[in-house]
A and B are shown apart, each in its own frame.
Chain A
Amino acid sequence: MTTPAITPEIVREHGLSEAEYQNILEILGREPNLVELGIFSVMWSEHCSYKSSRKHLSKLPTEAPWVVCGPGENAGVVDIGDGQVAIFKMESHNHPSFIEPYQGAATGVGGILRDVFTMGARPVALLNALRFGDPSHPKTRHLVAGVVSGIGGYGNCVGVPTVAGETTFHRAYNGNILVNAMCVGVAEADKVFYAAAAGVGNPVVYAGAKTGRDGIHGATMASAEFTEDSDAKRPTVQVGDPFTEKLLIEACLELMQKDCIVAIQDMGAAGLTSSSFEMASRGGTGIELELDRVPLREEGMVPYEVMLSESQERMLLVLKVGREDEARAVMEKWGLDFATIGHVTDTGRMVIRWHGEVAADLPIAPVSGASPVYDRPSVPTPPRLPIVGAAGSAPMDDRDALLVLLGCPDLASKRWIWEQYDHMVMGDTVQRPGGDAAVVRVHGTNKGLAVTSDCTPRYCEACPRTGGMQAVAEAWRNLIAVGAKPLAITNCLNFGNPERPEIMGQLVGAIDGMAAACRALDFPVVSGNVSLYNETEGRAVQPTPNIGGVGLIEDLGRMTGMAWQRPELALVLVGESNGWLGGSLYLREVMGREEGAPPQVDLPQERRNGDFVREVITARLVEACHDLSDGGLLVGLAEMCLASDMGASLDVPREATPSAWLFGEDQARYLLAVSPDALGDLRARARGRGVIARQVGTTGGRSLNVTGLVPISIDEMRARHEGWLPALMAGGH
């Protein structure tokens, strides 16, 4: 086979440094050919190798008695009792979504679904965490519209409900939006499938859609910083086909009922290359591929393209010897392509043949295991000063401030988005989008899975360590708030260019904070993804470690939501309120100041308060519950009023500084609605646990009545809260 000579320019185009190329020469003892260079380039890309983050990721706790499988497989696995497990993961599709928002977001959903069903789980819930630029930026509206319809177009068609997520806006994302998708699935504990190629002689099988020239070098692209002309470059965008994905889900789950699969993995970023290398690497085996047997969609494709194609909706399987026909019958029933393309060997090498000729011959371990690990220099983010209590004179009173906050981009209702997602298909959605966490019933049982995605990037920017902690703590609180036992998290760490020490400092700080919170809350990390180089022309996104949390509700009869059903309930504030305004939305949206240290996260207090709230919810003492976070107490209460379609009164303590007490974002707090009959019991339990719980108001009426403020009607709040996003999307801002 003739291939062009490898010049320094070709090496550079493949995103490999000179040192990395020298390393390759040493590993091989010869020059690689172009196919081999392409394989190294994707396997050693940031996206596949985690070369800048791996050293630090190892600090994250990954174990707990209920963790069945932590990071390293396609997704994490946790025990949910009764012989069942929940399988979940979050992943980024940032760069593709910026270039082609519909297809980028759609294929992001497709990829995360495959990560979950490849392990034997039926996907039961989708979530997404979206970060867009300034709402007034000329591209923002187009990006929001495209991303939302892409997520909906894919998720709605495959028939998995999209039940929760987060959408926020900040100018730091003008040139780099973040689109992170999360999927949660449920499987039988004894039917979890892994991706370790084993059994010399077992056939390696390709199933799903045909291979085209889609997204070649997508994985490398996702690791390279944008320049202004990447708009013009327009690399081949992969196009998703949710219809094929739906067939692939059903076919794979059907095939998994027959005892013929040894290992299975989807072909995601870096396609056949990463799936085959990772499977062989996990199994400590080798693979020989007859690459010309791969079903192709286009004519004239060459081995380089077949190995690096990122065509969607494809799976790679290792079957037991002699079971190909059985597997083929299932795939063909669902109208999918099926081909035996190779077999497992014990050589520790990947040998790729193209019409009989060797096109590549590489050792597995150095390509996938011994990829470079960088200990990149980092500088810590300089600390900011706390702002507690008075924050200077405000341009408006607290009533107007509440209305501003309810209608500000980050807090405004995202109904316009989630009504475009089928959040009810599968018939088990117990709590719909818009609450603290969504809840899906485990099909055929009375158990529920609570799911949430959280991160407060402005805190992470001000102090990455506190921000990392807070993101984990907020996910934990959101699960508690619906009455779930928090089990574990997945995460997607979105940062700028790690070759800049200050960015590396953000990454290190955030991981440190996350690790501390995970440990204190018994809330381990079971899967995750890192997305670096989210910056354009030196302008990085806010550090955004999105946390996806999953919790278990053992009895759906003991669940809470944000809405109370009746008047005269006591509103009980759990936790300490010091009026922390640093890094708050009040400071940003009302005072126009993005400053101050973020609220401190007192992990023992988080733990104590959370355990208490879960105890009183489970004891059925609580009629509604809401975690207090963005916007503080008054925004939290207003959100509960809107969910309940009922008003409330709130008594500001005489000793408090009103604005700070109403809008401070002190952590570890919840607001509960409690029947007067249950109040005594609840208080006694709080005292027993050393938890601060005081009544601050009462439910009832058609408005929110706060000491010293003109009453604010539900309708006025609702108009502000619901109006902002539809107006933006109609071009009204």
Chain B
Amino acid sequence: MRAAVITFPGSNCDRDLAVAMERCFDKPVARIWHQDTDLPPLDLIGIPGGFSFGDYLRCGAIAARSPVMREVARQAARGVAVLGICNGFQVLTEAGLLPGALLRNAGLGFVCRTVAMQVATASSPFTGSFAADARIALPVAHHDGNYQIDEDGLKRLEDEDRVAFRYLENPNGSMAGIAGVLSEQRNVLGMMPHPERAIEPLLGGSDGLPLFRSLMGALA
């Protein structure tokens, strides 16, 4: 498994994601700076949570126009897996690699809590190790996680089985309870919950582990 995590100015879950990947993959994870344009050969690119560029203008908007994102788009087109978590999900929608947009939470405030959700499809390199329809609990921590998409787009996502995770207790007003979506090729996943914060019982749960195990199985 050759995995990398990108750091933008203001990313703050980059270390957390790299640590989780290293732990689950038992391999060193490359760290990539937002101005890098030359990526090593990779199987998986992680776009971490945080407040890239301070969340200014729109969450993820400035990071999506960073030099490294052109390269991420090229690699994604070639089939490399891309995992965007929280701010990473926002970056992927702003970069056009995933449909829809993430708006301010319906309750307007930042929400940090562990939320019950359902694995909506086990058919992807990210979710293969989950039992179909598994109920899991993952932490969320965001201000802008309210997933919105037009009617046609939503229908397409549902028809093509591209909703990866769905909230059972919707913390942010997301349309159809959507917590994570897959790209058309199913190799790009954006999700608001933080699987990297749920990989050991000591930290309050390990429901995020199967996601990394799925990637290990699908890509290594």
Contact = CB atoms under 8 A, between A and B. Distances in A.
A432 B49 CA distance: 20
B15 interface: yes
A159 B54 CA distance: 11
B19 A427 contact: yes
Contacts of A556: 202
Interface string B8-25: 011011011001100000
Nearest to A122: B15
Interface in A240-279: 241-244, 246-247
A420 interface: yes
A321 interface: no
A329 to B, nearest CB: 14
A149 B51 contact: no
B80 to A, nearest CB: 25
* A interface residue count range (under 10 / 10 to 19 / 20 to 34 / 35 or more): 20 to 34
A424 interface: yes
A425 interface: yes
B197 A424 contact: yes
A156 B141 contact: yes
B51 A422 contact: no
B109 A425 contact: no
A423 interface: yes
Interface string B33-62: 000000000000000011101111000000
B112 interface: yes
Contacts, number: 82
B111 interface: yes
Contacts of A244: 54
Contacts of B194: 424
A419 B20 contact: no
B205 to A, nearest CB: 11
Given A156-B110, A243-B51, A430-B202, A425 B9 contact: no
A428 B19 CA distance: 11
A227 to B, nearest CB: 34
A421 B109 CA distance: 10
A149 B112 contact: no
Interface string B87-115: 00000000000000000000001111100
Nearest to A149: B109
B196 interface: yes
B112 A422 contact: yes
A242 B109 contact: no
Contacts of B49: 425
A419 B15 contact: no
A419 B196 contact: no
Given A420-B109, A424-B141, A243 B202 contact: no
A97 to B, nearest CB: 18
B204 A432 contact: yes
A489 interface: no
B50 A159 contact: yes
Contact of B111 (A158, A335, A420, A429): A420
Contacts of B13: 159, 425
Interface string B183-220: 00000000000101100001110000000000000000
Interface string A148-162: 010011001111000
Interface string A411-445: 00000001111111111111010000000010000
Contact of A243 (B56, B112, B139, B204): B56
B197 A156 contact: no
A728 to B, nearest CB: 15
A334 interface: yes
Q: Which of B49, B143, B202 has the most CB of A within 10 A?
A: B202
Contacts of A429: 203-204
A43 B31 CA distance: 45
A582 B16 CA distance: 48
Contact of A427 (B109, B111, B203): B203
B203 to A, nearest CB: 7
Given A157-B51, A243-B53, A425 B110 contact: no
A419 B112 contact: yes
Contacts of B12: 157-159, 246, 425
A416 B19 CA distance: 30
Nearest to B56: A243
Contacts of A158: 12
A159 B49 CA distance: 10
B110 A241 contact: no
B141 A422 contact: yes
B26 to A, nearest CB: 16
B94 to A, nearest CB: 17
Given A424-B194, A430-B202, A432-B204, A243 B111 contact: no
A556 B202 CA distance: 9
Interface string A137-180: 00000000000010011001111000000000000000000000
Contacts of A441: 202
Nearest to A428: B203
B51 A246 contact: yes
Contact of B9 (A152, A243, A424, A428): A243
B54 A241 contact: yes
Nearest to A247: B9
A430 B203 contact: yes
Given A152-B110, A243-B56, A335 B9 contact: yes
Nearest to A415: B113
Interface string B108-134: 011111000000000000000000000
Given A156-B141, A419-B112, A424-B112, A247 B10 contact: yes
A50 to B, nearest CB: 35
B21 to A, nearest CB: 12
A213 B84 CA distance: 40
Q: Which of A159, A335, A429, A441 has the most CB of B within 10 A?
A: A159
Q: Which of A152, A425, A430, A432 has the most CB of B within 10 A?
A: A425
Contacts of B110: 149, 152-153, 156, 420-422
Contacts of B109: 149, 152, 420
A376 B159 CA distance: 77
Contacts of A334: 9
Q: Which of A152, A246, A430 has the most CB of B within 10 A?
A: A246
A429 B143 CA distance: 20
B35 to A, nearest CB: 9
Contacts of B196: 427
A288 to B, nearest CB: 34
A46 B175 CA distance: 54
Q: Which of B10, B53, B139, B197 has the most CB of A within 10 A?
A: B10
Contacts of B20: 427
Contacts of B143: 156
A561 B112 CA distance: 21
A418 to B, nearest CB: 8
A422 B141 CA distance: 6
B141 to A, nearest CB: 4
A416 B109 CA distance: 10
A246 B15 CA distance: 14
For the complex of A and B, 7 pairs with smallest distance between CB atoms: A159-B12, A243-B54, A427-B16, A157-B51, A422-B141, A420-B110, A422-B112
5 contacts: A153-B110, A427-B19, A427-B20, A427-B203, A429-B204
Given A156-B141, A427-B197, 9 more contacts: A158-B12, A159-B50, A244-B54, A246-B51, A421-B112, A424-B204, A425-B13, A427-B16, A432-B204
